[in-house]
Every structure is written in structure tokens, then in C-alpha cells.
Amino acid sequence: MVDFSIRTVQGDITTIPVDAIVNAANERMLGGGGVDGAIHDASGPLLFEACMEVKEVSPGVRCPTGEARITPAFDLPADYVIHTVGPVWRGGSNNEEEMLSSAYRTSMLLAEENGCESISFPCISTGVFSFPFEQACNIALDTLGGFSGSDTIAEVLLVCFSVPREEEYRQILAAHPLSD
């Protein structure tokens, strides 16, 4: 059993006040479409500058798939943006599950290292990266459920932009073993 609350929320992740907002980023960390673009737009131009300051680990890569990096949140109602890169779905035989789990785990570790009490996650990799939604939700919940003993994190919000997706995620959460 986890020692923090986990709940689904329907809404715009850029408007929900938390200590850390997780950005479903790409490896360049310079903005993009979907959640990534929305977070960059809402945060303002200083987020782009902060991301440019993150050292590349290889040409064009600031945050490899399955890892996370942290920046200030600037104009967002949060202290931090945790940028994480989930895998592109390629059929499931290319370590996609392990990389997605790592994206959630490394994000939680960064939140804890930075004293965050609350964190909001989008459903990583389920947009343009095409990870099957239900499978991605269960991987997220398995990973979060295995993250016990947090000294700081009290609340995890799983944010979905659409009502139908939030309802689906809420049903998956209710049926998940960590809800027992």
C-alpha cells in the first residue's frame, strides 16, 4: 500500500496547483505538441531557456527515454516542471513497458529529491507516442504503487484532459490492486 494519495483529475494540467507538473516531453526538451506544447506555452519563454541550459547527453538529447530532468515552472502554478520522456509504442517488444515505468519512477525520485509534496502526471506516451491507454495506466499505477516510503510526496494526481479518458483512468485505478 502506498503512503500517499493517488487520484485521477479531469482538466488542464497547466492550471492545477501542485509542487511539480510532469511534462511528457521529447528528448530535446524544447517543446512540441500535446501536453509538452501546452506546458511550454503556459509556462512562458523562460521554460524554453531553462531547457536549453540542460546539458545534452548526446547530440540533440537532453533527456533520454525513461529518464527525467527538472526545471523551474515559471508562469505555471507549480514550483517545478519535471520533464520525462516516455517511449514511442512499437508493438511492445522494444522495452516500452520498462521505459515507461522508468519515466514515472525517475519523475517521482526527482520530485522527492526536491521536497515536493504534490505532483501531477499526464498519461505519458498515450498521445502521439501511441502507447495503448489501459496498458499505460496500469504501468503507471504499478510503478507508483511500488514507490513507497516517500518522505515528502503526499499526493499524486493523474490528469486527463478529456472527461471520457479521466473516467476510464478512474475505473482502471479503482480496479487496480493498490486501491485495495
Among this protein's residues, is 36 annotated catalytic?
yes
Q: How far apart are CA 35 and CA 55, in angstroms?
A: 22
- To which H or E segment does residue 23 belong? strand 20-24
Residue by residue, pLDDT tens for the chain (180 residues) are 578 999 999 999 999 999 999 999 999 999 988 999 999 999 999 999 999 999 999 999 999 999 999 999 999 999 999 999 999 999 999 999 999 999 999 999 999 999 999 999 999 999 999 999 999 999 999 999 988 767 899 999 999 999 999 999 999 999 998 755
Domain definitions of the chain by residue range: 5-179
Q: How far apart are CA 14 and CA 40, in angstroms?
A: 9
Nearest of 59, 46, 63, 54 to residue 124 by alpha carbon: 63
Contact (Cβ atoms closer than 8 angstroms) between residue 83 and residue 110: no
The residue from 12, 19, 36, 41 that is catalytic is: 36
Architecture of domain 5-179: 3-Layer(aba) Sandwich (3.40)
Neighbours of 151 (CB within 10 A): 7
pTM as predicted: 0.96
